[in-house]
Amino acid sequence: MIKVDQDKCIGCGLCSGMCPDVFIMNADGKSEVLEQGNEACAKGAAESCPVNAITL
């Protein structure tokens, strides 16, 4: 299951840019999971997240 740690996310927007089908920026300026499923893309985003906020 793809998750974003809201306490760690700094709102850089990288993950939603890489995987717009998985991540969306919320009203707090943080990323949240829009839809589970594209784990291949989410894995790349998790590896690229500067604060390691994404787990799956």
Applying CB under 6 A, the residues found at the interface with ligand SF4 are 4, 9-15, 31, 49-51, 53-54
Nearer to ligand SF4, 37 or 50 (CB): 50
Q: Measured from the CB of residue 8, what is the shortest distance to ligand SF4 in angstroms?
A: 7
DSSP 8-state secondary structure symbol assigned to residue 30: -
Give the H or E element holding residue 23. Answer: strand 23-25
SS3 content of the chain, % helix, strand, coil (to 5): 25, 20, 55
What is the Cα Rg of the chain in Å? 9
- Nearest approach in angstroms of CB 27 to ligand SF4 is 14
**Least distance CB 41 / ligand SF4 (angstroms):** 12
